[in-house]
Amino acid sequence: MKNNNEIPDGYMKNARGDLTRIENIRPIDLARDELVKEVITDALKLQAEMAKFKSRAMGDIEAFVELSLERYNVTLGGKKGNVSLTTFDGEYQLKICQADRITFDEGLQAAKLLIDDCLREWTQHSRPEIRTIIEQAFDTDQEGKINTGRILTLMRLEINDPTWQRAMTALKDSIKVTATVPYLRLYKRQHISGKYAQIPLDIAAL
């Protein structure tokens, strides 16, 4: 008995899930389909290899740090900290950085309402661009997620208005650390400047 999701020979499924006879599909559409699938297949293989590389590298680095600490009869327990390792000639450097993954609870909405109160008062006799600049911090991306960095930037502004201060208190109280994520970064020293430049592993940066 055939699986209901199995596509019969001579057919392809379109984006709506409808079956279409291959002979009725334009050659350019078939070529595009083949190209995209080939590239994505290779990309998924590369992604899997990068995941293996990261896991292996992080494990090797952790083992090295443990070995290094054994010289002083010290063991590393609990949450790991940041680590920086450099080759003997200073040519290469790698870093493991621990970063907190931050979200906001419902207190963020209270902060937004208080900030709106400030903006209404401040912009009565000033340019509307002020409102736009601050409101952009609460803009969401295509997935509906708030840019954490923009929100936290508001807390660094030196504004003594009492309502603003209440808003910043609400904002601070709304911060929740959901996880601590380790990041592996690789660097190569630039011969002219002597500074370390990150080795990009992001396809968009290559």
pLDDT in tens, 57-110: 999 998 898 888 888 776 655 556 788 999 999 999 999 988 888 888 888 889
- pTM for the model: 0.65
Q: What is the dihedral of CA 194, 199, 204, 206, to 10 degrees?
A: 80
Give all strands (DSSP E) within 33-130, no chain letters. 83-86, 92-104
Looking at residue 90, its pLDDT comes to: 94
pLDDT over 80 at 17, yes or no = yes
pLDDT over 80 at 152, yes or no = yes
Q: Are strands 175-189 and 92-104 parallel, antiparallel or unpaired?
A: antiparallel
Q: What is the C-alpha to C-alpha distance for residues 53 and 189, in angstroms, rounded to an integer? A: 22
Q: Report which DSSP code applies to 192.
A: T
Residue 61 CB neighbours (<10 A):
18
Looking at residue 123, its pLDDT comes to: 72
Query: Domain coordinates of the chain in residue numbers?
Result: 42-100+180-205, 102-178
- Grouping H, G, I as helix, E, B as strand and the rest as coil, residue 32 is helix
Q: What is the C-alpha to C-alpha distance for residues 77 and 73, in angstroms, rounded to an integer? A: 13
Looking at residue 134, its pLDDT comes to: 75
pLDDT over 70 at 155, yes or no = yes
Q: What is the C-alpha to C-alpha distance for residues 8 and 16, in angstroms, rounded to an integer? A: 17
Considering only 2-6, 104-108, 198-202, which range has the smallest mean pLDDT?
A: 2-6
pLDDT (average), residues 7-36: 95
Looking at residue 2, its pLDDT comes to: 43
Looking at residue 60, its pLDDT comes to: 93
**Mean per-residue pLDDT of the chain:** 86
Of residues 17 and 206, which shows the higher confidence score?
Answer: 17
Q: What is the C-alpha to C-alpha distance for residues 44 and 129, in angstroms, rounded to an integer? A: 44
Considering only 91-100, 123-132, 156-165, 176-185, which range has the smallest mean pLDDT?
A: 123-132
Of residues 155 and 205, which shows the higher confidence score?
Answer: 155
pLDDT over 60 at 111, yes or no = yes
Q: Which string of b and e fits 69-91 if b means at least 16 CB within 10 Å?
A: eeeeeeeeeeeeeebeeeeeeee
Of residues 118 and 38, which shows the higher confidence score?
Answer: 38
Among 46-60, 68-82, 173-187, the range with the most confident prediction by mean pLDDT is 46-60
For the chain, first and last CA: distance in Å?
A: 48
Q: What is the C-alpha to C-alpha distance for residues 63 and 53, in angstroms, rounded to an integer? A: 15
Rg of the chain over Cα atoms, rounded to whole angstroms, equals: 26
